[in-house]
Amino acid sequence: MTYSKVSIIGQGYVGLPLAVMIVKLGVKVTGIDSNSNTIDFLNRGISHIEDVPSSEISAARASGLYEASSSFKNVSESDVVVICVPTPLNGQHQPDLSYLNSALADMSKFLKKGTLIILESTVSPGTTRNLVVPAIEKGTSSSIKNFFLVFSPERIDPRNLNWSISNTPKLVGGLTDRCCKMGMAFYSMFIDEVVECDSLEVAETSKLLENSFRLVNISFINELAIYCDKIGIAINDVIRAAATKPFGYMPFYPSIGVGGHCIPVDPVYLSHSARELDVPTRFLDLAIQVNNEVPKYFVNKAREKLGDLQDKKIMVVGVAYKPNIADVRETSVKPLIEGLIQDGAKVFWHDELVKEWNGQKSSKLTGDYDLAIIATQHDYIDLSQLGKIPLLVAGRVLR
């Protein structure tokens, strides 16, 4: 099976690296995105994603094999359409499928028969079958049998230098066996190991399990860190000691709480789906609760250090959800800052990767503060610039 044209809907942390990878195969790719600024930058060879250097975008543009567009018209000429749109949480902390619904409505108008359609966006089990199929049939006025439908969850970990698209095993579930085989053939062109799942639902649920597993263990470690703090020992020393066991243990590390596009979001999709089926997820719900309460703990720690937060100047170092990226999606620093402000503190933040966030700009690191809270320590950050002011380590310090 050969593919000459691919459309990738969504040119963010998932879609853009995928587009660049496919272009390197000599396949023409159209990156579709609703953000006009993103489209403009990409067509000028400028990347907005840390994992993709601008040089690679420029090379892809120069080859004539890549273009970014807000139009879905190129879908009509594509052999493969990959959907990589955000599926975040809404203001009520519930699954938000608005981006997916919009993409399905727009692309279905242009789908040609025989197209391989792949959903990579995280969804609740049953979504591909029960939402995507009807949307395609409605938009095309044609049976889903005229297309090949696959769910293949993304496994992108920004700034991970060891695991990339090509060497991270790829799961594929198909609406039919033929669909699955088509999806596996496509991904096998540029991924070392492609794993067949028994159904769409197995592939969908596996993604939710992966990140629910991480949330549960991180939440547990965060609780244990509070215990260790109370008895006067370092949680990282405990973790290092436990990690010497070569079997039955996997190290997880404390933080200010989890953030990003997966760990704080995917468990909510799983829990939401379970509630609709009247299936209890007490363990998972407790882990979500524990994670959400971690920022409050550090607000209390700040109060312990200063006695009173009223009018105290506090510097929060790093607002991205993890080191060395500018991604602030679901960052736990947000509720930390909100909690400090509610207690009367004057809060400033520093993050030269993020630069601007929530209508504010990054402040310089100086010793002119009553307290500094280290939330996310990027490699470039020099804590000595804070002078001798008190420090509170909330995130995992890299060095």
Residues involved in catalysis: 262
What single-letter amino acid sits at 352? E
Cα distances from 310 to residues 82, 163, 238, 317, 345, in angstroms, run 51, 45, 35, 20, 5
* Contact between 258 and 291 (Cβ < 8 Å): yes
Burial of 229 (0-12, 13-18, 19+ CB in 10 A): middle
Strand ranges (E), the chain: 5-9, 28-32, 66-69, 80-83, 116-119, 148-151, 170-174, 194-196, 313-317, 346-350, 356-357, 360-361, 371-374, 391-393
Could you tell me the two tokens for 398? 């890299």
What single-letter amino acid sits at 127? T
Phi (first) and psi of residue 307, to 5 degrees: 85, -45
- Among the residues of 232-281, which ranges form H helices? 235-242, 266-276
Pick the closest to residue 220 from 271, 272, 286 (CA basis).
Answer: 286
**How would you label 298-337 residue by residue, b for 16+ Cβ within 10 Å and e otherwise?**
bbebbbebbeebeebebbbbbbbbbbbbbbbbbbbbbbbb
DSSP state of 112: P
Pick the closest to residue 181 from 168, 166, 194, 191 (CA basis).
Answer: 194
Return the half-sphere exposure (C-beta side, CA atoms, 13 A cut-off) of residue 80. Answer: 28
Strand ranges (E), 120-164: 148-151
3-class DSSP state for residue 69?
A: strand
* Contact between 369 and 326 (Cβ < 8 Å): no
